[in-house]
Chain A
Amino acid sequence: MTMERLFSGLMALVSIFLIYLAIGYVAPIAYDPIGPRPYPILIFSLLAFGCLVVAFRPASFTKAIELGLNKTIIRNLILCALALLVYGLIFEVLGFILATILMSFAVGLLFAGNPLKSFIFSVLISIGLYVLFDIFLDVKLPLGLLSGIIG
């Protein structure tokens, strides 16, 4: 089974689950003739149908997709997604400066930077962007752990 079929099949299942949820959306009073229910059911039905077509269509209708992935790339992709996820989680807790240093260092290494240079640039990027946004552009960023030390 190809990635394309598997992914589309999964999307079809999710759409069907969402249709099931949408069936419960009934307004207590009918403000308009169709209410909140039919439109999402229509959209997700079409989506489920389209996904099923892609999942089960005959092979002659598909074009082979060259994913170009190997073990190292997949590992790096997972690590990068994790680094960004963790960055999102620690953004407020640790504060922008510390969180950005950690993320930039991790992502920098994944993009083939050497540890020393990556670290130096992580610190520069982090402080530079903090100064740019928080001080010059007045986009307030969280200080987190550093809030007692600076500002």
Chain B
Amino acid sequence: MDTFDFLMHGFAVASTPKNLLLALIGAFLGTIVGMLPGLGPINGVAILLPFAFALGLPPESALILLAAVYLGCEYGGRISAILINVPGDAGAIMTTLDGYPLAKQGKAGIALSLSAVSSFVGATIATIGVVLFAPLLAKWAISFGPAEYFVLMVFAITCLSGLVGDQPVKTGIAALIGLGLATVGVDAVTGIYRFTFDSVNLSDGIQFTTIVIGFFSVSEILILLEKTTTGHKVIEQGKRSLLNFKEFTFAFGAMLRSGLMGFVVGILPGAGATIASAMTYASERKIAGDTGTFGDGDLRGVASPEAANNASACGSFVPMLTLGVPGSGTTAVMMGALTLYNITPGPQLFTEQPDIVWGLIASLFICNVILLIMNIPLVGLFAKLLDVPNYILIPAIAAVSFVGVYSIHSTTFDLVFMVALGVFGYFLRKLNFPLSALILGYVLGELMESNLRRALSISQGELSILWSSPITVVLWLLAILMVFMPVIRSIYRRKFKPAI
């Protein structure tokens, strides 16, 4: 079968009534989660993950649900960015710059519909990119041995510290905490209990759901408590709620360029929607030059970050599906979901689990259509939800989070441990240790150790196997480059960009 047949097979999987319904529910919930300030895709996927598992959904359906939530969040973030000048999630930060001024000029409806169309264009470009590139990458990666995998994961983690956060050392620490947490539990090879403190509850390792919900839901509640800002002024949508053809063609070039760039950024491990939207916004502003009104309500200033953040969300599926290395914090959580089903993501997924891979890819197309249709007429309804006060919303989120963790093992231990992790996560976040690096470290931890040990078993303890093949050498060089990336960037800035 070639790619086209596989894709058609994927559409057959994704368009069963059950999976369509899940995509619809996921898209709806995702838009809401993305829209609510403070809650982003990673929180939404983390909170829903245990239910997908507890409801006994098959893996492909669970992934379709979670992917729909992920894409929905990228659509939803723009609503609050435009209407109340508060980005609903990190990927929508740039959207506030021109979205809110447009809303103040009475063009909120146009900004909302244009950004929905841009999101659609960006995500569609990126999904086509996934179809074209993912199988090639998977074919190439199938020759990877354990040594190559180990070095690939080292590269993914260094990539993160080169690109995320203002201080690489803190990103590194966060990733190491994740790697460390992954060593808890019984060692699969020798049966030795590590860091379990004789607790039965830890002998199996720390539950993935406990980690993600603790770090991303409990800590988020504490962060939200700090900002008890209430009473946002929601701007009316204005007279015309749909964009016209002229506005569409005006911004179309920006959408295409930003979609492509977002896709490329999304593929890189760690660099996600936030970086993609910031980069494309800056480059579109440069392209527009004096003709643009960026910052005062330029339509392209709304189109480019929205196309880019959706494109990068779709792009981040490429490394997850082909290499088993997630491209973003959210895909890291989704990869954790696969491991709950005892499925190890990697190049063999393409041959062994075509239902999952192609069902997921096809569902990205379907979710996008659903989201576009849902987001244009229903935007008023979504905006109403911004009025729900925090004293109702937060307790409900807390209760749903607890139910999620409880549904996996039904123990009080997990709940208490989750709160403890949440408090720890709160401190990490306050001190700017990026939690997305932590979760990537946790997801990769077990694979990293087992690949290292397998490689060393093959070589009978000879360390040189880790840098003996050309692929490993290239990956090591790239990893070293990434470690020095922040230094290179600061030198570049000093040399080529005179102080403004």
Chain A residues packing against B (C-beta within 8 Å): 3-4, 7-8, 11, 15, 18, 21-22, 25-27, 29, 31-36, 39-40, 43-44, 46-47, 50-51, 53-54, 63, 65, 67-69, 73, 76-77, 80-81, 84-85, 87-89, 91-92, 96, 100, 103-105, 107-113, 117-118, 121-122, 125-126, 129, 133, 137-142
Chain B residues packing against A (C-beta within 8 Å): 51, 54-55, 166-167, 169-170, 172-173, 176-177, 179-180, 183, 187, 189-192, 194-195, 218, 221-222, 224-226, 228, 230, 389-392, 394-396, 398-400, 402-403, 406-407, 410, 412, 415-416, 418-420, 422-423, 426-427, 430-432, 449, 452-453, 456-457, 460-461
Question: In the complex, A81→B431 CA distance in Å?
Answer: 18
Give the residue of B395, B416, B457, B460 whose beta carbon is less than 8 angstroms from that of A103: B395
- Determine whether the beta carbon of B225 is less than 8 Å from that of A39: no
Between-chain CB contacts (< 8 Å), 26 pairs: A7-B431, A18-B180, A32-B457, A34-B452, A39-B183, A40-B183, A47-B176, A50-B176, A54-B170, A65-B432, A69-B226, A77-B226, A88-B402, A88-B418, A91-B402, A92-B410, A92-B412, A96-B403, A103-B395, A103-B398, A105-B395, A108-B394, A111-B391, A113-B389, A125-B392, A133-B407
A6 to chain B, nearest CB (A): 10
A77 to chain B, nearest CB (A): 6
The residues of A that contact B452 with a CB separation of less than 8 Å are 34, 39
The residues of A that contact B457 with a CB separation of less than 8 Å are 32-33
- Determine whether the beta carbon of A139 is less than 8 Å from that of B407: yes
The residues of A that contact B170 with a CB separation of less than 8 Å are 54
- Determine whether the beta carbon of A91 is less than 8 Å from that of B173: no
The residues of B that contact A7 with a CB separation of less than 8 Å are 427, 431
Given A34-B461, A39-B449, A43-B176, do A85 and B403 touch, yes or no (CB 8 Å)?
A: no
The residues of B that contact A137 with a CB separation of less than 8 Å are 51, 55
Question: In the complex, A63→B192 CA distance in Å?
Answer: 42
Known: A21-B195, A125-B399. 8 other contacts (CB 8 A): A27-B187, A32-B190, A65-B432, A77-B226, A88-B418, A111-B390, A111-B395, A139-B55
B392 to chain A, nearest CB (A): 5
The residues of A that contact B172 with a CB separation of less than 8 Å are 46, 50
Given A137-B55, A139-B55, do A63 and B166 touch, yes or no (CB 8 Å)?
A: yes
- Determine whether the beta carbon of B391 is less than 8 Å from that of A113: yes
